[in-house]
Amino acid sequence: MTIAGCTSRNDDSGGGGGSTSGSDEPIRVAFVPKLQGIPYFEAMNSGGQQAADDLGIEWLYQGPTTADAAAQADIVRSFIQQDVDALIVAPNDPDSMAPLLQEAADKGIQVATSDTDAPDSVRQVFVNQASVQGIGEALTDSLMTAMGGSGKYAIVSCGETAANLNAWIDVQKEYTASEYPDAEIVDIVYAGEDQAAATSMATDLMNANPDLTGLVGECTSSAPGVAQAVKDAGKTGSVFTVGLGTPMSMAPYLEDGSSSASILWDVQNLGYLTAWAGLQLAEGNEFEATNDVSADLPAVEYDADTQVLLLGPPLEITKDNVAEFDY
């Protein structure tokens, strides 16, 4: 568990930390990722720690060691018992997480989601990395550029119940059919958050579909996994891959051509925005239509109808710009 910062609840400095009660206890914002220890969520944690330092709050970070909904639920229950001020979750299973978010809210804890939503819950805001449409279209466009706009491809996703992954896949299906009529998605498989499983599944997909020319890794573990499968099979340049991989994990594959691009966003900024949003909820502040969060996040948009804070448009990471990132 990571702890940083120290703003007390009755600090009226404004902008950084305000009051939620008359006590001198620091505002505590807890974030529960899908999985602790992988580069993606560790980068989110780094951003959250930076926000804690800047804003003067206490940032608590703990997740399960496997992408397991039950293990994640145990950690959420622990934070509820600790009576944190704001509880933010990237749920492995949104439906099973919803009752726990209700339990937290009933106790007076401010609740939110980040990275992955639980739209049918009482969450007060979803800190969204990029729009569903934007990510789905960017993945498709990037792969189709590599494949020449036609051919068969398959998707290696991660958790079968992950709301964000499934929403992106729905866009990819529709967008491929409407914009790339000579392309076809032949299969969708689920590897959990397991890179080795993604490599194995991608290998099986290529063996089962000899005319396959594209693979999408739908999360940060399957993106390098599918690229590794292509590399192992000696099919670099004939089977093209794109995915949602963190820059350092994708760098070798982007450089050797086994991956054409990674579609992502600034993950550290997502962590920073998550911590900032937790502070706003704890202080009872309303989100503005456009929010000046930090020097790096001067105009974060908020949709009041959907209660979504949007980090920004997706980012295409290629061999030309991957060295600009350090996570």
Question: 40-63: per-residue pLDDT in tens?
Answer: 999 999 999 999 999 999 999 999
Strand partners, 111: 87
Instruction: Average the pLDDT over 249-261 and give the result.
Output: 98
Percent of the chain residues topping a pLDDT of 70: 93
Instruction: Average the pLDDT over 208-219 and give the result.
Output: 98
Q: How far is it, in rounded angstroms, from Cα 187 to Cα 211?
A: 13
Instruction: Average the pLDDT over 89-104 and give the result.
Output: 97
Please name the CATH architecture into which domain 28-129+266-312 falls. 3-Layer(aba) Sandwich (3.40)
- Say yes or no to pLDDT of 175 above 50: yes
In the prediction, which pLDDT does 25 show?
A: 83
In the prediction, which pLDDT does 32 show?
A: 98
Helix axes 94-106, 69-81, angle to 10 degrees: 10
* Tokens 């350090």 sit on residue: 326
In the prediction, which pLDDT does 196 show?
A: 98
Beta strands in the chain (DSSP E): 28-32, 58-61, 86-89, 110-114, 126-128, 151-157, 183-190, 212-217, 240-243, 261-264, 290-291, 300-303, 308-310, 315-317
Strand partners, 308: 126, 303
- Say yes or no to pLDDT of 9 above 60: no
Range from 12-21, 144-153, 304-313 carrying the lowest mean pLDDT: 12-21
In the prediction, which pLDDT does 120 show?
A: 95
Higher pLDDT, 8 or 126: 126
Query: How many residues make up the chain in this entry?
Result: 327
Helix (H, G, I), strand (E, B) or coil at 275: helix
Residue span(s) of the chain under CATH 3.40.50.2300 come to: 28-129+266-312, 132-264
CATH code matching the domain that covers 132-264, chosen among 3.20.20.190, 3.40.50.300, 3.40.50.2300, 3.90.1200.10: 3.40.50.2300
pTM score above 0.75: yes
C-alpha pair distances (Å), 197 with each of 1, 172, 177, 228, 287: 28, 22, 28, 11, 41
The span from the first CA to the last CA of the chain, in angstroms, equals 20
Instruction: Average the pLDDT over 291-304 and give the result.
Output: 97
Range from 18-27, 63-72, 254-263 carrying the lowest mean pLDDT: 18-27
For residue 179, which of 213, 143, 141 has the smallest C-alpha distance?
141
